Amino acid sequence: MPASRERADAAAPGVPGATDPTATDLGATDLGATDLGATDLGATDLGATDLGATDLGATDLGATDVAFMQHALEIAAQAAEHGDVPVGALVVQGGRIVGVGRNRREVDDDPVAHAEIVALRDACRGSARWRVDGATLYVTLEPCPMCAGAIVNARVARLVYGAADPKAGAVRSLYCICDDVRLNHRVEIVAGVLADPCAEILRTFFRGARSRRAARRPRA
């Protein structure tokens, strides 16, 4: 059976969806994970010792997920500052942040530099292993097919994501890659943690991008 656990109660209203007129802000063409450099945002930058399991309440998994997602949002904001779509990701193992990623596609001219990929690479470099057994990956936006596949291949134990992506989401919106029973590894899924702020940071980014494009258009 799929090892999934949906958190419908955590999905705040206003999350982009098929009926939400802002859903086009989260389109696949706009949401290429962009600004994700592990070298810029190593685990030490985020203070693994500052965000230990004790500090985040290991006995209260919901509070822990919220705290780590808030941190992922801070990383997402850094992506926006560099002109990349604001998506942030963390890999947490044993209550410690071992991998960090933000969208770096524009900065690095790299089509696969999505936040999740960069965070997983960061974690694997630190451990000198390609697996992240027992780890939880936090990401502010539902992973795309590429990232969902990487999560499975890296043997991530839990995936916690914020906003749904109706145009490219491959965990629930379009596909169910991470807990597909046909695959050799299945991931526990927690959806909708801080969904509203995770969606709002994207809406704000795309509103700004549209305004800048409109300002550059020649007037008739």
Q: Just list the catalytic residues.
A: 116
For residue 42, what is the DSSP state? -
Amino acid (1-letter code) at residue 102? R
What is the length of the chain? 220
Interatomic CA distance for residues 172 and 89, integer angstroms: 18
Query: Which of 104, 107, 96 is CA-nearest to residue 135?
Result: 96
Question: Among candidates 206, 47, 49, which has minimal Cα distance to 141?
Answer: 206
* Joined tokens for residue 164: 């749904």
| 97 neighbors 90 (Cβ within 8 angstroms) | yes
Give the separation between CA 75 and CA 72, rounded to whole angstroms.
5
Strand partners, 164: none
